[in-house]
Amino acid sequence: MSDKHSVIFVPHGGGPLPLLGHEPHAGLTRFLSSASKQLIQPSAIIVVTAHWESSPIRISTAAKPDMLFDYYGFPPETYRYKYPASGHPELAANIIATLQSAGLAAEADPQRGFDHGTFVPLMLMYPDATIPVVQVSLHDSLNPATHIKFGEYLAEFAAQGALILGSGLSFHNLRSMRPDDSGTGNESLVFDRWLADTQTLPTNEAEKRMVNWEDAPYARYCHPREEHLLPLHVCFGVAKALGKPLQQIYSDALMGSQVSAFAA
């Protein structure tokens, strides 16, 4: 097994801002631009994106995925981005079959394009767009245990040479940026430290904490809704199945809040 990471959770930032030279995103842009050096050279990339929820879980099967600009209010050029990576219909079909055989309902989506949770980090991490990409949705139950199991089922594809990329944010509270927000500014630091400390625990204990993440300090302040955190749960499940615990590989302030990347 390579000593490089085969599963990674990354913060994808706010809309297309990491691609625009937005100063509060400068650290994240630098990290994403260099992150591939810490990763295996993948045969394919399986992206678990915070910007897609469905029941059952859906898998993108298009051979030539389009772009999905799921943001608004940004400069015109941000609606002309291209990320011309191919899809991987055969891999997508194998993922669906694996999930179904494990009792987790999944179905094909031949129309889904690359949303910004996918194309923003990939444009920085793999700008040549030569590696096939398959997107997978979250389950719309937003159940943490379900997403850890989901990751366990995806682990076989990491073992076969695919990179599992969870794309979300370890802090996602847009209300915190409003003048009338009641936060102190330390909530994201405390929660970020809790996430990092959790990954250092024995697997069973870490899993209990991840399942019960709402018990963490400031959990619901940091995630009023948990869709941006759950890709980390999927990555945790992959790492658990591979026997390689997640570790924090990046942590920095983003627009006044702490965000981290984790990999195994």
Whether 86 is in a domain gets the answer yes
Cis-peptide, bond into residue 56, ω within 30° of zero: yes
Alpha helix (H) residue ranges in 48-87: none
Whether 1 is in a domain gets the answer no
Q: What is the mean predicted confidence (pLDDT) over 234-239?
A: 98
Whether 122 is in a domain gets the answer yes
* Domain count for the chain: 1
Please give the Cα distance from 215 to 222 (Å, whole number): 12
Q: What is the mean predicted confidence (pLDDT) over 126-145?
A: 98
Look up residue 160 and give its DSSP letter: T
Whether 229 is in a domain gets the answer yes
Q: Does pLDDT of 9 surpass 80?
A: yes
Three-state helix/strand/coil letters over 219-235: HHHHCCCHHHCHHHHHH
> Which token pair is 68?
């999905």
Domain that holds residue 25: 7-263
Q: What is the mean predicted confidence (pLDDT) over 37-65?
A: 98
Whether 29 is in a domain gets the answer yes
Q: Model-level pTM greater than 0.85?
A: yes
Q: 264 pLDDT band (50/70/90 cuts)? A: very high
Q: 1 pLDDT band (50/70/90 cuts)? A: very low
Q: Does pLDDT of 23 surpass 70?
A: yes
Whether 2 is in a domain gets the answer no
What phi, psi does 168 have (nearest 5°)? -160, -135
Whether 40 is in a domain gets the answer yes
Please give the Cα distance from 183 to 176 (Å, whole number): 7
CATH classification of the domain holding 72: 3.40.830.10
CA distances from 45 to 57, 76, 178, 224, 227 (A): 17, 28, 36, 29, 20
Q: Does pLDDT of 178 surpass 80?
A: no
Sheet order of strands, 106-109 included: 106-109, 57-60, 133-139, 44-54, 162-168, 7-11, 257-263, 247-254
- Looking at residue 3, its pLDDT comes to 84
Q: Does pLDDT of 260 surpass 60?
A: yes
- Looking at residue 105, its pLDDT comes to 97
Q: Does pLDDT of 177 surpass 60?
A: no
The gap between the terminal CA atoms of the chain, to the nearest Å, is 12
Whether 191 is in a domain gets the answer yes
Please give the Cα distance from 207 to 213 (Å, whole number): 9
